[in-house]
Chain A
Amino acid sequence: MVQAVTSAVARVARIRQDYPQIADAIGGASLWVLFGVLLVVSVIDARQYLVTGIIVGSIIALGAIGITLIYGVLKFAHFAHGDMMMFGAYVALFALVGGGRIGPLSFGWGMIFAIFVAMAVLGVGSIAIDRVVYRPLRQRGSSSVVLAIASLGVAIVLRAIMLLWWGPDQQLYVSGIHPAREFPFDIKLKPDHIFIVATALVLMALVYLLLFRTKMGKAMRAMSDNADLARVAGIDTELVFMWTWVIGGALAAVAGILLGIQSNLKPELGFILLLPLFASAILGGLGSPQGALVGAMIVGISQEVVVGIDLPFPPFGVPGYKPAVAFGILILILLVRPRGLFGRT
């Protein structure tokens, strides 16, 4: 029995090695089928969770796009990204002055101002961190692994600054109860949720325009495709690095703020956020911004729907297992299609 199983596994591994394209295609197709089934089930049975998943997915997407851009252009896994998101959220908390409300939303124009402040602080701050930490390592020719460990150091520092300044307890932008409204198909939504999705969509459209309609975007994509070729073609690599940090940092700030609006702020959350962020980026194919968006939607929806559907075995029905769902997706993608849904081979 055991022998039969191991030899079957070995045979599958063998086939995968001998026919990589076929294995890749089957892997991709089975992932699409799996997520398709999940989508159908959630439309029929768990619409509320599906909608929450879309909200969470659009927040994760903003972070995952940053991770995938940094990975593509600077060629290393940025482990400080989750803490950068949280840091952005806290900067906005600091800059948030004045109450008031815009229409049905729970916050006023002060929040819009705070979002811009946080984007600016994180955008400039990312360049500063790059100058102090990553650039010297890069110029020394350090491997991507060393840069990744340096980013762990940066993550610890950012986390400590948040703890030092704002303390370890969770905080809210606006306290009080904000009732949800009824929508067709038994869906309940708060006006804030619509704000979150709309903001994320606007930013993603801007990133799309920047990447595909400007010269800098073209340079960034060229760096991501082939750094040496881009350098030979006369692209100013340091300038491209700078812009990548500005975009990644600003998107992270907004993602953190939207997460704060959706739930709450807590310094501890930053490091744990890395799991859904990287799961999304890898699922979409590292280096592909469109992929990161699709990956984030899949991760966000799966997380919410799986813990929403009440089956008698884990991880179903237990909200605490949301990270486990993201982890499961990560392992699945590494097993069946390591290049991701839209990544290059």
Chain B
Amino acid sequence: MDKGRVITFLAVSAITAGVVGISANDAQSLGGFISFLTVFITTVAIFAIFALGLNVQWGYTGIFNFGIVAFFMVGAYTSALLTKEPSSSQYVRYVGGLNLAEGLGPLGLDGLTGFVLGALAAAVVSGLVAFLIAIPALRLREDYLAIATIGVAEVFRRIAIEEEGLVNGTRGLTGIPRPLHDLVSPPDYKYVYLAIAVVILFLIFIAIERSARSPWGRVLKAIREDELTTAASGKNIFSFRTQAFVLGAMIMGIGGAVYSANQGAIVPDTFSHFFGTFIIWAMLMVGGSGSNRGAILGAYVVWGFWTVTGLVQPHLPEALEARTSYIRDLLIGLLIIVVLLLRPNGLMGEERRVSLFMRRETNREARRVGAPTRSPEE
């Protein structure tokens, strides 16, 4: 085994051992242990959706988005406003409230139809926002897009707070409908939602794996590697970059929808730069930019690391306990820097498969002879 695989193996097993070991030690019963792991995996799946969206933007195309939280937020609010019932109190004010979760009668399938429609709408609105930012910012330099996305994230948060009638201001939205909630008793609902989140993650994974290996995906990688040559081959760079940015944002919007139905309640402060943007960047960098499996693995490792450090917290001396969460912030930042310096390909590295129509071996051959693609870090 080469060094990279050893490190990957060690990282994954250390995280798994930590999460399983400490939660087993802390849990009062087997049920408590299993339910802890269920919530953990559901959260990983949701973060993995965001990391996949970022991979389409940064890993494939080299667009950098420092405002992931903006699309996260748009998706979460859009699906919540569509699935929720209209407000019945003068103290709770929000627009929409189409009641897609309950109002569809037999077609509603216990809220599932409404949830799917809400997630699709989240993708559409999120993609539209991305398109509107792309027009001024993506035509120019990459850095301009990064600033513009930071700006959008901040402006959306302010709008959510200031326009009280829009999404109920700082008090936020509660009682966001959950799909298939009548299937099992409320304490067991988390297993249902785990399945929903994993299925959505899987569908998105399959979709972008296929698109990455299509001619479309190869153009994106070509743009990342050499913009001028790609333009000289007659590809409209701006159009392809916009498509990748919009697609990534749509995936993030779906992630927001899955998040809001899982939480059941959202407030503007939920959407912090740290959890909405920074940690997702850490996940993709750790897992390996350009690799979809890497994005998912990164989400697992980073959230596992976050969970383990959270579990250790109560066992620490008091002076240290209060500050543990900031030490975690510090380590997330260091993780990004260390990965960039020491392992620019992350744990997985980019898969060097060229086409859907070539068998794996041929692709491996291609890598040996002269790899057609490089990771964005090189």
Contact = CB atoms under 8 A, between A and B. Distances in A.
B358 to A, nearest CB: 29
A156 B332 contact: yes
Interface in B305-346: 323, 326-327, 329-330, 332-337, 340-341, 344
Contact of B64 (A148, A154, A282, A326): A148
A47 interface: no
B247 interface: no
B268 to A, nearest CB: 11
A275 interface: yes
B interface SS class: helix
Interface in A256-297: 271-272, 274-275, 278-279, 282
B329 A150 contact: no
B283 to A, nearest CB: 13
Contacts of B137: 331, 334
A137 B340 contact: yes
Contacts of A158: 333
B142 interface: yes
A152 B273 CA distance: 12
B148 A150 contact: no
For this complex, into which size category does the number of interface residues on chain A fall?
35 or more
Nearest to A330: B151
B278 interface: yes
A133 to B, nearest CB: 6
B32 to A, nearest CB: 31
Interface in A296-344: 314, 318, 320-321, 323-324, 326-327, 330-331, 334-335, 338
B136 A150 contact: no
Contact of A156 (B64, B140, B161, B333): B333
Interface of B: 62, 64, 66, 136-137, 140, 142-144, 146-148, 150-152, 154-155, 158-159, 161-163, 273-274, 278, 281, 285, 323, 326-327, 329-330, 332-337, 340-341, 344, 376-377
- Cβ-closest 9 pairs across A and B: A156-B333, A153-B336, A160-B330, A160-B329, A157-B333, A327-B151, A77-B143, A153-B337, A334-B136
Interface of A: 76-77, 79, 133, 136-137, 142-146, 148-150, 152-161, 163-164, 271-272, 274-275, 278-279, 282, 314, 318, 320-321, 323-324, 326-327, 330-331, 334-335, 338
